[in-house]
Amino acid sequence: MSHHEINIAVFASGNGTNAENLIKYFNDNTESGIRVSLVVTNRAGAGVVERAKRLGVPVEHITRDRFSDHDYVMGILKAHHVEAIVLAGFLLMVPDYLLKYYHDRIINIHPSLLPRYGGKGMFGINVHKAVVEAGDTETGITIHLVDEICDNGRILFQAKVSVDPTDTPEDVEAKIHTLEREHFSRIVALTLAPDL
């Protein structure tokens, strides 16, 4: 077993349920050696800010413009000893310098079975609306490595759930959140600390 500590930053733009699940999971499972040392958001008013604060995790607000400032962003990540990044409902593209520095150490969760319903504009409830409108009988989650193309990187894990004919997009969203809660933290742990 490795005792190397791995500090991760969770990047989030929204409500932050996945960020909260990740923080709690790694607080409870200390044997993983993984710890959420920082939450980064591009939206100052996002729900994730309160969730992180409540759990005692530092939050940095970095605007879209500021993200292009390599020295500024790397300074923040280095100050928190960040070795890997997890995107949990983060709606900006990750800048190239982060993709290079954290090569194969940036993980994203997407609320559909990629390659279906991926790409620009496909996030959160928009994805579930598209699934319901298409009359799909199943959907799911995809956890994948991040590369320079939106929703394109190597798939680490997928899980499926059935969509009933009467499901609204909100019903699908609830099912997806359940899947995310069941799997995301575990797959992050397996990916970043495989020799556990």
Q: Report d(CA 115, CA 141) in Å as an integer.
A: 11
Nearest C-alpha neighbor of 77 from the set 91, 55, 95: 95
Q: Which of 3, 81, 110, 128 is catalytic?
A: 110
End-to-end CA distance of the chain: 5
Per CB under 6 A, residues contacting ligand GAR are 12, 14-18, 88-89, 109-111, 123-124, 127, 176, 180
CB of 74 or CB of 91, closer to ligand GAR: 91
Minimum distance from CB of 74 to ligand GAR (Å)? Answer: 24
Closer of 33 and 51 to ligand GAR (Cβ) = 51
| Residue with smaller CB distance to ligand GAR, 59 or 109 | 109
Beta bridge partners of 59: 39
Least distance (Å) from ligand GAR to the CB of residue 47? 7
Annotated catalytic residue 110:
yes
| Integer angstrom CA distances of residue 47 from 14, 17, 86, 90, 117 | 6, 9, 17, 12, 25
**Least spacing, CB of residue 61 vs ligand GAR, in Å:** 16
Q: How far is the CB of 195 from ligand GAR (least distance, A)?
A: 27
Query: What 3-state DSSP class applies to 50?
Result: helix
The residue (of 33 and 111) whose beta carbon lies closer to ligand GAR is 111
Tell me the residue number closest to ligand GAR, measured at CB.
89
* Closest to 10 in 3D by CA, of 37, 43, 44: 37
Active site residues: 110
